[in-house]
Chain A
Amino acid sequence: MNDANLLRTPLYACHQKAGARLVDFAGWEMPVQYSGVIDEHRAVRTAAGLFDVSHMGQIHVRGPQAEAYLQWLTPNDLGKLAEGRAHYSAFLTERGTYVDDLLVYRLGPAEFLIVVNASNADKDFAWAQARTAGFDVEIDNVSHRYALLALQGPRAIEILAPLTTTDLSAIKYYGFAHGQVDGARAILSRTGYTGEDGFELYVDPEEAPRLWDRLLEVGAPHGLIPAGLGARDTLRLEAAMALYGHEIDDQTTPLEANLMWAVKLDKGDFVGRDALVSAREGGIARRLVGFEVVGKGIARQGHAIVSGDDTVGVVTSGTYSPTFEKALGMAYVPLGSVEPGSPLELDIRGKRVAAVVVPLPFYRRPR
Chain B
Amino acid sequence: MYPSENLYSREHEWVRIEDDICVLGITEFAQHELGEVVFVELPEMGQAFDTGDEIGTIESVKAVAEVYTPLAGEIVEINEALVDDPELLNEDPHGDGWLVKMRFSSADDLKALMNAEQYEEYVKSGGE
Residues on A lying within 8 angstroms of B by beta carbon are: 21, 32-33, 36-38, 230, 233-234, 296-298, 300, 319-320, 322, 327, 349
Q: Are B41 and A296 in contact (CB under 8 A)?
A: yes
Which of A21, A296, A297, A319 is in CB contact (< 8 Å) with B61? A319
Across the interface, which residues of A come within 8 angstroms of B61, CB to CB? 37-38, 230, 234, 319-320, 322
CB–CB B36/A297 < 8 A: no
Cα distance A341–B57 in the bound complex, in angstroms: 29
> Nearest CB to that of B87 among chain A residues?
A38
**Which chain B residue shows the least CB distance to A293?**
B39
Partner of A38, one of B36, B41, B57: B36
| A296 vs B59: C-alpha distance when bound (angstroms) | 11
B: interface residue count bin: 10 to 19
B53 to chain A, nearest CB (A): 14
- Complex Cα gap A32–B36 (Å): 13
Candidate in A230, A234, A319, A320 with the most chain B CB atoms within 10 angstroms: A320
Main secondary structure of the interface of B (DSSP, over half): strand
A318 to B64, CA, bound (A): 12
Which chain B residues in 26-57 approach chain A with CB under 8 Å? 35-36, 38-39, 41, 57
Nearest-CB residue, chain B, relative to A234: B61
Residues of B within 8 A of A21 (CB): 35
Cβ B57 vs Cβ A349 within 8 A? yes
Partner of B59, one of A38, A320, A322: A320
Establish whether residues B59 and A37, one from each chain, have CB atoms under 8 Å apart when the complex forms.
no
B36/A36 in contact, CB under 8 A? yes
Q: Nearest Cβ in chain A — how far from B16, in angstroms?
A: 27
Residues 50-109 of B at the A interface (beta carbon under 8 Å): 57, 59-62, 64
Given contacts A230-B61, A319-B61, contact A298 B35 (CB under 8 A): no
For chain A, what secondary structure do more than half of its interface residues adopt (helix, strand, loop), or is it mixed? mixed
Closest to B59 in A: A298
Report which residue of A32, A230, A234 has the largest number of chain B beta carbons within 10 angstroms of its beta carbon.
A230
Bound-state Cα–Cα, A39 to B104, Å = 39
Q: Quote the shortest CB–CB distance from A315 to chain B (angstroms).
A: 13
- Nearest 8 CB-CB pairings of A with B: A320-B38, A37-B61, A298-B59, A38-B36, A320-B61, A36-B36, A230-B62, A298-B39
Contact A33/B35 with A230-B61, A230-B62 known, Cβ cut-off 8 Å = yes
6 A-B interface contacts by CB (under 8 A): A37-B36, A37-B61, A230-B62, A234-B61, A298-B64, A349-B57
- B-chain residues with CB within 8 Å of residue A33 when the two chains form the complex: 35
User: Which residues of chain A are near B59, meaning CB under 8 Å?
Assistant: 297-298, 320
CA distance A32 to B64 in the complex (A): 16
Name the A residues within 8 Å of B57 (CB-CB).
349
Check A300/B35 contact, CB under 8 A, given A320-B59, A349-B57.
no
B35 adjacent to A36 (CB under 8 Å): yes
Determine the chain A residues whose CB is within 8 A of the CB of B60 once the complex forms: 37
